[in-house]
Amino acid sequence: TAMNPGTLLQRVQIIKGWLTTDGEYRERVIDVAGDADNGASVDTRTCAVRGDGFRELCAVWTDQDFRPEEWAYYYSRVVENPSCRWSQRQCIAANPPINCAEPTLVPDEYAACCDVDVPKTVQERSWTSPIWYNKPPSGC
């Protein structure tokens, strides 16, 4: 919407999982469009986003390692640029402001604001339904 335009996209990925002929499961993530190192970031004090990104991304990809004798699945995933985590937005909006330099003054419900183990940013993702490839039956 005009008030919440969303976050720019960072990259599109193909995720391939397969079962080798030896019965071992493998998975690979392939970046097919965009740029994982686009320099995008977020100011965790204000939640202002910085850096480049894409309004839309498009690519055509072919599995150069396709083996018809192996079972496999594929799906695509779109990754946005970093943005503030919902809990960080609450920390910024708190009144009075949260001051982690004075831990005794931080209300219990805002303890996560000062917890270094609680991420302050996220990278939202969206993905497609998988496409499954089953090897042909013997004798075909």
How would you write the pLDDT of the chain (140 residues) with one tens digit per residue? 787 778 999 999 999 999 988 999 999 999 999 999 999 999 999 999 999 999 999 999 999 999 998 999 999 999 999 999 999 999 999 998 899 999 899 999 999 999 999 999 999 999 999 999 997 777 65
What's 118's DSSP letter?
A: S
Residue 12 burial (10 A CB sphere; 0-12, 13-18, 19+): buried
Return d(Cα 51, Cα 74) in angstroms, integer. Answer: 30
Closest CA relative to residue 54, chosen from 82, 76, 81: 81
